[in-house]
Amino acid sequence: MSSTTPETPTRAMVFLLAGAAGIIVANLYYAQPLVGLISAAIGMPASAAGLVVTLTQAGYAFGLLFVVPLGDLLENRRLVVCGLLATGAALVLAATAGSAWQFLLAALGIGLGAVVAQVLVPFAAHLAPEAVRGRVVGQVVSGLLLGIMVARPAASLLAGVAGWQSVFGIAAVLVLLLAAVLRARLPERRPAATLPYRALIASLWTVLRTTPVLRRRALYHAGLFGAFSLFWTVAPLALAGPAFGLSQAGIAVFALVGMAGAVASPIAGRLADAGHTLPATGAALALGAASFALPLLAPASLPHWLALGLLAMAAIVLDAAVAANLVLGQRVLFALGADLRSRLNGLYFALFFLGGALGSGAGGWLYARHGWHAALMAGMALPLAGLAAWVGEYLRHGAARQAA
């Protein structure tokens, strides 16, 4: 790519990047609703069934730290295509798994390969000029979030019709086709960095230590993503329980309703482009906390259909808050320099994924030990912790303006 100011990417290119991000990241979530089916088929004991999901997440975390930074070093199109080919191979391995070891190895590979979605998002930022960068990144992140939201219900429905192997087989075909399309359509992007790989990875600590805005944005989103993970861990349990009595198909439809929240991504991008990142961040954190207040404060006497509608509204508001804040954070970080974008994005995701792990783990434990309302209160506390940190930034920002 030229070093001159880039032209605004075409709608077709933005749509391609958004669709690609969604298809890639969906691979992380297909196994989650299928753990019982998969573990029984490959002979895993119930006590070890969680490894089906855990190894995928472990592979993704490893890739965020050791693969995504390569976007600052290697030609980006080749890196994405190679990652997709590796992901396709891992999906084929999963679809044909006849033993626990084969599937677990495939799960690790799927998580590792899926990180190329986080190479595509900075790639989109490189393609866009400063004036519309937030909008473009927001549209690509919308596709990524739709992939996350659609993956679980789609996997449940498809597995019910054609078996769990078909989910991974179809995903493999989609990923390999996508590799061919991106190889043909994406422009080349060669980073200016000439660091050896070891120095590139060693620089991650320096980037984290010397970039307070990265730590701050990661803290904000760790709170929101932790709440998001908690909600989507415990909500299906509550929906299947006696209070709602939904079938697996009903829970899948409920999850699809949450997709409406993805529309917040491009809106947040436009707000960031207009210079409203700080107030928009506060609004996102406040909305994340408020989404838990909706079902938490609902009276027990509420009719069944109204309680379900209130929970669906909470899901949409929470998903919108997470989508908006993710884009706001990436817009801030991508403005720090083109030569750091992949490392910043990898660190950002790795840090807030820790919040997600905390949220899902705490949510499941609280729901089992103390019930639905205790889990909701914990979910509200996570974005409130981020909001408390945001108030400190807001006050510092106001003091700086007065001093100027």
DSSP string, 6-30: PPPPPHHHHHHHHHHHHHHHHTTTT
Q: What is the tens place of the pLDDT at every residue in 254-292?
A: 878 877 887 888 888 899 888 899 999 999 999 999 999
Whole-number Å distance between alpha carbons of 78 and 94? 24
Tell me: pLDDT of 23 over 70. yes
Looking at residues 323-352, what average pLDDT do you find? 90
Tell me: pLDDT of 189 over 60. yes
Whole-number Å distance between alpha carbons of 273 and 42? 50
Q: How confident is the model at residue 107 (pLDDT cuts 50, 70, 90)?
A: very high
Which residue is associated with the tokens 């949450």? 258
Tokens read off for 8 = 């605004």
Give residue 403's pLDDT: 64
Give residue 402's pLDDT: 64
Q: Look over the chain and give the mean of its residue pLDDT values, rounded to a whole number.
A: 88
Q: 323, 174, 319: which is closest to 256 by C-alpha?
A: 319
Which residue is associated with the tokens 């079938």? 247
Tell me: pLDDT of 97 over 70. yes
Give residues with Cβ within 8 angstroms of 372, minimum separation 6: 234, 238, 243
Tokens read off for 112 = 């590792």
Q: Indicate the range of 62-71, 199-208, 337-346 predicted with least confidence.
A: 337-346
DSSP state of 188: P
Q: What is the tens place of the pLDDT at every residue in 224-233?
A: 999 988 888 7
State the span(s) of the chain assigned CATH 1.20.1250.20.
Answer: 8-191, 198-404
What CATH number labels 198-404?
1.20.1250.20
Q: What's the predicted TM-score (pTM) here? A: 0.84
Tell me: pLDDT of 404 over 80. no
Q: 325, 318, 389, 319: which is closest to 352 by C-alpha?
A: 325
CATH architecture of 8-191: Up-down Bundle (1.20)
Whole-number Å distance between alpha carbons of 18 and 366? 36
Give residue 202's pLDDT: 93
Give residue 314's pLDDT: 93
Whole-number Å distance between alpha carbons of 361 and 54? 12
Whole-number Å distance between alpha carbons of 33 and 156? 6
Q: Output 402 or 192, whichever has higher pLDDT.
A: 192
